[in-house]
Structure 1
Amino acid sequence: MNILNFLFVAGIILSFVAYFYYKTKQFRSTLPIRKKWYTAKAGTALGIFMIFFGLNVTIIYPTFVGYAVAVVFVIIGVGMAVNNYKRTRHEGQFVEEEYRLNQ
């Protein structure tokens, strides 16, 4: 159980760092499609953060309430991650084109 907890905490930290990185890139970007693209990437990282957090709750609090909280976090996290991943793929098609047009 201890190694699994370590892996979930590492996933939480890495996904939070990715979220912070993409949010910073979003604020610094000047092109509108690129801003939306970074927003979607940050949303994907936030969804993954919620999934890892929900899974970690099951290890820390192995009670009914802990499992209920974990299920809520995992369901919301999967929804956010999938939705934002689809947005990332869609908007990623236009990022290079927007960059070429605005040079």
Structure 2
Amino acid sequence: MIFIVLIIFSLVFFVYYKVQQSRVSGPAERRWYSAKGSIAIGIFFISFGINSYLSLGTQVSAYVTVLFVGFGLVNVIFGAKHYKTFLPLARKEIEQRQS
């Protein structure tokens, strides 16, 4: 049950961040929202993979779980790196726009 809720929330956040990414004007702020979306889709892949293994429990679902968890971890790790990189730049863009 927890993985189904996590799947739904991560998809909602992914769509939200992608919409926000298209609305902002600054390039660093756009990349910042893209990094957040990457983290959200990574959490989706991890949750979906684990949920598929727990519900099916077959050898094929174990392979699918390994693929999805691996791909999800790559998205989360690189998304977090990009988030840390673009957060200060996005803050500068927001401050410049407000002043």
Aligning the two structures, in what range does the TM-score lie when normalised by the shorter sequence?
A: over 0.9
Instruction: Kindly indicate whether residue 12 of structure 2 is the aligned counterpart of residue 10 of structure 1.
Output: no
Q: TM-score, normalised by structure 1?
A: 0.91
Number of residue-to-residue matches in the alignment: 98
Cα deviation 1:37-81 (Å, max 9, x = unaligned): 001100110000000000001112111001000010001100111
Give ranges in structure 2 of 5+ residues lacking alignment. Answer: none
Aligned counterpart in structure 2 of residue 75 of structure 1, from 70, 76, 80: 70
C-alpha separation in 2, matches of 1:55 and 1:85: 21
Local SS of the residue matching 2:57:
coil
Return the offset for 1:17: 0.6
Return the offset for 1:100: 2.3
| Corresponding letter in the other structure for 1:64 | Q
Q: TM-score, normalised by structure 2?
A: 0.94
C-alpha separation in 2, matches of 1:100 and 1:62: 51
Partner residue, 1:99: 94
Partner residue, 1:3: none
RMSD: 0.9
Identity, in percent, stands at: 34
Aligned counterpart in structure 2 of residue 88 of structure 1, from 83, 87, 91: 83
Aligned counterpart in structure 2 of residue 62 of structure 1, from 53, 57, 61: 57
C-alpha separation in 2, matches of 1:34 and 1:77: 23
Aligned counterpart in structure 2 of residue 48 of structure 1, from 24, 39, 43: 43
C-alpha separation in 1, matches of 2:36 and 2:5: 19
